[in-house]
Amino acid sequence: IRKKERKKERKKKERKKERKKERKKERKKERKKER
């Protein structure tokens, strides 16, 4: 059970990282629009 839970935790962390990257991309787009 513990191994499975660890995998879940890892996936959650990976998703968080992905979301952060997506947000950065979105911000860049917004900045370009402002210019």
Interval 1-35: pLDDT, tens: 688 888 889 999 999 999 999 999 999 888 888 77
Q: What pLDDT score does 15 carry? A: 92
Q: What pLDDT score does 19 carry? A: 92
DSSP state of 35: -
End-to-end CA distance of the chain: 52
The first and second tokens of residue 26, run together, are 């979105």
Q: What pLDDT score does 28 carry? A: 87
If one counts the domains in the chain, the total is 1
Helix, strand, coil in percent for the chain, rounding step 5: 95, 0, 5
Q: Give the range of the structural domain holding residue 4, as residue numbers without chain letter.
A: 1-35
The answer for residues whose C-beta is within 8 angstroms of residue 33's C-beta and 6 or more apart is none
C-alpha–C-alpha distance, residues 4 and 19, integer Å: 23
Q: What pLDDT score does 1 carry? A: 63
pTM greater than 0.75 (yes/no): no
